[in-house]
Structures are given as C-alpha cells and as structure tokens.
Structure 1
C-alpha cells in the first residue's frame, strides 16, 4: 500500500537502485514501523557520499534470490558509525516474486557485468540500474509496471508561495480536523478545502467564513454548562468570533476560531482542545519543517521564545491548582502543552489532518539544548530524524487526548478560563474546541439524564488499531 507521508506528489525520478535483503521477521518489523508515519528505516553499509539525498528504487528480498517488494528509498545524511540509514517509503508488493537469477540472465549491454554484481546486494549504479529495469520489463511486465509506478516524471505545480494567510488557513483546518478526530466525529462533516489560493484568502478571517451555517459564540448553547466554571466565560460569549457546532451521536463539538486580525496578517494558530466530559485540556503549537521533505528542518523563529513564555505563565498558574488525587484527574504527565511539527503543510490535499510529529513542550526544551539540535554552524535546527522515535504520531496523540490520558487535570481545567480570555484578546488565532455530550431532556422535564458512554468506531469497515471513545 502506498504512503504519501514523504510526498509522493513531487517528481521522483531515481537514477540508482538498491537491493536490500532482510529476513521475514525483520520485514514485519519494518512494516510495523511504517504504520504510524508511512516510512521506515534500515541500517545498511555505507554508500558513496555522492549518493546522499539521491532517490534510489529499492528492491527488497525477504527470501534470498527473490525480489518480493519495491519501494522508494534514500540515504539523507552521512554516518560515522560505519553504517548508513536507508529511509524507505511508498512500499509496494510485486504481483509475484521475481527471481534474481532470471533477471541476471536477461541483462544486456556493456554494463551487464556490473548489474549482475549489484544484484547480489547493495547499491546499483546508474548505468547498471537501467539494465536491471530493462531486464525486469522483459521477464515480467506486471512486476515492471509496479516498479515503474513509483517513478514520477510529472513536472508538478511549483511549491505555493509561503504566505501567512495560506499557512494560517492550513493550520486552522488541521486543528479543526484534529478536534473532530479526537471527539470521534467523522472528518467528512467538515467541508473545507485543505488548500486555497492567495486570492481566495484575501479578506477572509477564518476557514468558517464560507460556511452557511457559521454562527457566533453567543448563539452556542454548549457554553451554558461552562458558565459555572467562572465569570470569564461571559466575556468569551460576548465576542462575535466565527464558530461551528458539530453533533454526532452522543457528542457535541464546538470549534471557535478567535480571530483578531485579518487572516493574511496572522502568523500562526494554537489549538486548545477542551474535553468537557473528562475535564481535560491540551494546547498545541504548530511548527513547519522547511523543504520538500523537511530536509531544511525547523529553525526556531524569534517569537517562539515569547510563545513559550506565555505557555510557562499558564503552567505556573495551573500549578497552583494543587495535586489532583481523583481517578478522573489522573494524567500520564504534568505537561499539557505540545508542539506539532508538520511537513507538506502547503501541499497537503487529503481530507484528513496533516501528518506530523507531536512532542511535549517539556521534551522540546530539553531537545533544543542537546547536541542533536545543533547545526553545522552551531545554530539551533531540528529535522524529522532529530526526534528519532521520540514523538507521538497523530493517531497516538488523538487516542490519548480522547481518553483523557494527557492534558490538564480536573482541578487545573477549572483555572484555564482566564488564559482563554487572554488568548482571545491577543493578536494570534486561537482555535478553541470544546467537546461535550449531547444530553436528551428527561421525561419529567427536570435535569437531563447523562447517556452512558458508547464506544464508537471512527472508521467503519477498517480493521481497528486504536479505538477512540
């Protein structure tokens, strides 16, 4: 099954190849690693330095002498350990395994001897790679079609202009889709384009401006249950910010996009997700890797320190809530702040959220002080591989938030109203998503009765890996 996490929409024309032989057990491990992000890695012996960052069509053998899979691959960075890391993605199974000996017999041309040697394992040079592809086409048209489908010679559209308006649109939409998935609401309830042109965002304040059912906060009944939490909610209810109500089974989700400036002048968006049922809140700061595949990394901008200071100020306020000894208030950790690092933010065209990496703010503070975050000129820069396996995938993050395992405690959640008021008064876009149960009226006209929590399948017909409540 193809995966576009590393960007299958850009032209990809490999001039080299690589023959990788792994045991069936190791291949299963690679498949498991590939599930969260779409990519996996395998240690290989060093390749020539001139081949760094050059795409190679990878022929994978799980049984010696037979090619069973093909994939895109690349070695991005040099190694000092005697081994390089081969990054693999867009893995495809061949209709039938192809015998390497059969390919060797069909090799033609002056470089046939070089191709025969390369097929024993390792790097396939440019001239030998062409001979291998021609031989594969001669002996198995179906296998060649699968391998050739990974080669993309289309020119493709140029990268969109990096404007604050386009970034803010993408940030807002991803925050709303993430909120829907946390609440267990099918994301097809949101009919918003993933990307827009610069012309279409002119004068637009939020992604809900095009929604006919867009409403304002004072029309939302969902905040009635929160009024008891403090008078600060009354200020939020008086503001006329764009918002939208989503209802699905027993869940009601209100998403509020608090915009104080035109979208083209805004620099980013924070997601604040409040799970009213479990009394937990999480805060997410979005950041974007630069480059086609994130190869240019992320360098902390000047305003990041100010953003972290605001989070630290809120953390200090939350610390005054005291220790929550209740079962409902139990959390894995004390850090409700997270950073999401995204690739492909401005080229993502799927209906779901933008793939990315979630890390707690407390971990980020350690990471940027470590040698792993130091660039060649001793500047601070992080790349996707800097995090190694120390991050949460969107699936992991959504599941933990939906079950109340991360975020503020019940006691701390009661203290967040002043922060929300300050955030909405600020000059940044703050996405506030509040999840509540839909309560049917009681028969006697009294207080509505709470429904028992029902486990719902987010993706009907698909084999469940994580069940979100």
Structure 2
C-alpha cells in the first residue's frame, strides 16, 4: 500500500517532504531590501513542489537595478494579487533571459494566515511610503521603503512580522581571527569551491562549510573532510575495496585528494582541492574545477594581499615563481592536444590558469566570494615587467590599484573563463 498523499489547505496534492533541507537558515543574513511576488496558481504550485523537494526554487522577474542584485532580500509571495501567503530568503544572482532576472528563493516560511497588502498600505507613513506602496503591488522594495514597510507590518500583524523578521540575521560579523597556516588554507579552499559553484551556475548554498575550520585535536585537511559524498581522484572502487590486503597499496590510499561532484539539473561540476597537497606541487595551483557538462577546466592559484583592505600589497617571491613554472609546464603539455574547431570547443581563452589576489580572506563569513582580483596568468607575466609593478625602492610589489581595470571581479569571473 503506498503512503497516503498529503494535501495543503487549498486541496493541492503535495510531493513527499524531504527529511532535511539543503540550505542553512542560521547563516548571517542582514537583509535590508524586499520583493513582493505574485504568480498564477499553476506557477505557485510549481514553486511549492520545487521547494518541498530541495528548498530552493526560482522565478523569472523583471530586470532589477544593478545595485539590487546579489543583495540579501526578503521575498513575500502568493498566488492571489494583493495577498501574501509565504515569505522566504531570496537573492538575484543571475539573469534569466534578455531583460529578465532570476530570483532564487529558499528557507521558505508559510504565514499563519494570508496577509492583505492593502492593510499594510493603510499603516505606511513617512517620506518613503509611496515607494513601499508601489512595491506592495509587486516588485522590488528598496532599503528605505523596506524599512517603512516592515514597521507598518509590525503594526498590522505582529505574528507575521515575527515570521519575516526571523529570516533576517543581523548578527555582527565574527571577530577577526588570528591568521594561521591552517586557517588560511581552509579559507582558500572554501572560497575556491564557492567560486567554482557560481561559475557553473550551481547554487553555492548546496555547499556547507563554516567560515573557520573546526577546532579540535585533529585539524581537518580540507573543507570536504567529514563529507560522505566526497569522492577521490583515485580509483575508489579498487583502492577502498575491503578485500584488498596488499601492503603495496597502502601508500596510495593515504594520498587520496579531496574532490566532490555537484549536480544541478543538466550541469555537473567536479571540484578538486589541490592546496597544500601533492597535486599543487605538480600543477602549481590551489583549485581545479572541471565543468563536465561543457568540458571546461579552470586552474586557480590564490595569493594574499596584505593589510585589511589589501593596502599593503603583495610581494611576489620564489614560491610563486616555482608555481608559475609548473603551470607553464602543464600549459605546454595541454598545447600538444588537438584543437577543437567546433562551436562546442570554443573557449574564452586557451590558457586555463588564473591568479586570485584576495583581501579580507580570513574574516569573510558569508557563503559568497572573498573580495579579490582575478588575473589571467598571461597578463600577470606582462604586468610584472612594467614599472607599475615596482615599489619606491625598485622592489617587485603589486597593489589593487596596480591592476588598473585589467582584472576580473568575482562576479565577472563567473561569466568569463572557459565557457
């Protein structure tokens, strides 16, 4: 006998709930803007089905101003115009199509009762009331209008206000930790995985890792430690077979590299963390990401800008020189491969190596990118030959302003390499 199907108060049949949620509701989320979304009953049902399976659903909306994208947002939504039944965390990260954006929503909460936006409009006061009234008809709610709207909501229905307000986490960022090799290594890896996921258009919330490594007697070696879904670069089916007792294989099984494959619909991405491992000594990079859907590969080496905002710059040393020599050796091998002249074989560039210069690496606490600058390896080689890369005493040093405009930001890097 199959289990009885559950229905909601509207009588719709619901898919079975998952016993877990992919997305963490307790991460710091200082939302200061809102969005009011009204969709058809059919589309609402599709969103409901999606959120019950993965907790993450998306809706195509009118294009937002650039300043409203990639900002924590509280989304109020429902299937009747002028009536809200749910609230969720949301963010616009990517465009949906020409003239449209994609609103991603997660950590959904059903309101204890339907909320009429007309009731909120009656309580709106202040110079931003007109902006809030406009947003309540459907669309983005700017920070000032959002504040006025929340104050009006608190008067109209304190219980619903409490549900929405709980989605906002205004905790101050953690105190700046003392930089250690282990913490820096952890931060490099954590940012590398987030970068790879965003490049592949896979929600970064599918990857869970705290901003600092867990404390304990045995320090973790990678952000994938403890992840049962982590797979090895080596032949797992052979090397981990419990029937193999040959002592000659023991040294191999102790050198398993941390890697994980993420899936999001038709997109499959494998992330390999090479930092501080033998793979870095061979390739000269900290991160390798393989987009198995597009057959694209990117290699990234991380470097730290000194100072709180990178104001103390970065001084290239012998270690970077050795790492670049390894990259050049790999690039020479890659150049010997046959050229794919088809459209599917087109790439942004033939050199897959990049340097990322980070700032505030250790204090970055949310799940987004660490602020920094991505430089193609070829441009870096030209830059260090110029007077701009020399300090007052003639030494080699670079600052954020040294890069001028010839670098990728984290968001621009999402769109560029090896598509």
Residue in structure 2 matching 1:178, options 189, 195, 200? 195
CA spacing shift, 1:258–1:379, aligned 2, 3 Å: closer
Q: Secondary structure at the match of 1:328?
A: helix
Task: Check if 1:280 corresponds to 2:296.
Answer: yes
Q: How many angstroms apart in 2 are the aligned matches of 1:396 and 1:180?
A: 14
Equivalent residues of 1:166, 1:201 under 8 A apart: no
Q: Secondary structure at the match of 1:240?
A: coil
Residue 377 of structure 1 and its aligned partner are, at CA, apart by: 1.1
Q: How many angstroms apart in 2 are the aligned matches of 1:373 and 1:316?
A: 26
**Structure 1 segment 68-467 matched on structure 2, within 5 A:** 159-196=176-213, 199-200=215-216, 202-217=218-233, 240-257=256-273, 270-401=286-417, 404-405=418-419
Q: How many angstroms apart in 2 are the aligned matches of 1:371 and 1:167?
A: 30
Q: Secondary structure at the match of 1:210?
A: coil
Equivalent residues of 1:218, 1:238 under 8 A apart: no
Equivalent residues of 1:241, 1:259 under 8 A apart: no
Q: What TM-score, normalized to structure 2?
A: 0.50
Residue 389 of structure 1 and its aligned partner are, at CA, apart by: 1.2
Aligned length: 243
Residue 380 of structure 1 and its aligned partner are, at CA, apart by: 0.9
CA spacing shift, 1:217–1:271, aligned 2, 3 Å: closer
Residue 172 of structure 1 and its aligned partner are, at CA, apart by: 0.6
What's the CA shift string for 1:49-98, capped at 9, x where partnerless? xxxxxxxxxxxxxxxxxxxxxxxxxxxxxxxxxxxxxxxxxxxxx978xx
Residue 252 of structure 1 and its aligned partner are, at CA, apart by: 2.8
Equivalent residues of 2:375, 2:407 under 8 A apart: yes
Q: How many angstroms apart in 2 are the aligned matches of 1:369 and 1:282?
A: 25
Residue 319 of structure 1 and its aligned partner are, at CA, apart by: 2.1
Q: Secondary structure at the match of 1:334?
A: coil
CA spacing shift, 1:244–1:219, aligned 2, 3 Å: farther
Residue 261 of structure 1 and its aligned partner are, at CA, apart by: 5.6
Q: How many angstroms apart in 2 are the aligned matches of 1:184 and 1:215?
A: 21
What's the CA shift string for 1:347-400, capped at 9, x where partnerless? 000111212111111100111111111111111111111112111111221112
The residue number in structure 1 matching 2:4 is none
RMSD: 3.7
Q: What TM-score, normalized to structure 1?
A: 0.45
Q: How many angstroms apart in 2 are the aligned matches of 1:209 and 1:188?
A: 17
Residue 289 of structure 1 and its aligned partner are, at CA, apart by: 0.6
CA spacing shift, 1:306–1:291, aligned 2, 3 Å: same
Q: How many angstroms apart in 1 are the aligned matches of 2:335 and 2:307?
A: 39
Residue 162 of structure 1 and its aligned partner are, at CA, apart by: 2.2
Residue 33 of structure 1 and its aligned partner are, at CA, apart by: 10
Residue 317 of structure 1 and its aligned partner are, at CA, apart by: 1.6
Residue 216 of structure 1 and its aligned partner are, at CA, apart by: 3.8
Residue 212 of structure 1 and its aligned partner are, at CA, apart by: 4.2
Q: How many angstroms apart in 1 are the aligned matches of 2:407 and 2:277?
A: 33
Q: Secondary structure at the match of 2:314?
A: coil
Equivalent residues of 1:217, 1:239 under 8 A apart: no
Q: Which runs of 5+ in 1 are unaligned?
A: 1-8, 10-30, 37-93, 97-141, 143-154, 222-235, 263-267, 406-469
Q: How many angstroms apart in 2 are the aligned matches of 1:252 and 1:384?
A: 34
CA spacing shift, 1:369–1:200, aligned 2, 3 Å: farther
Q: How many angstroms apart in 2 are the aligned matches of 1:220 and 1:253?
A: 18
Q: Which runs of 5+ in 2 are unaligned?
A: 1-29, 31-64, 71-125, 129-147, 149-171, 238-251, 279-283
Equivalent residues of 2:270, 2:291 under 8 A apart: no
Q: How many angstroms apart in 2 are the aligned matches of 1:220 and 1:252?
A: 19
Q: How many angstroms apart in 2 are the aligned matches of 1:355 and 1:313?
A: 29
Equivalent residues of 1:171, 1:269 under 8 A apart: no
Residue 202 of structure 1 and its aligned partner are, at CA, apart by: 4.3
Asked which structure has the greater RCO (Cα within 8 Å, sep 6+), the reply is 1
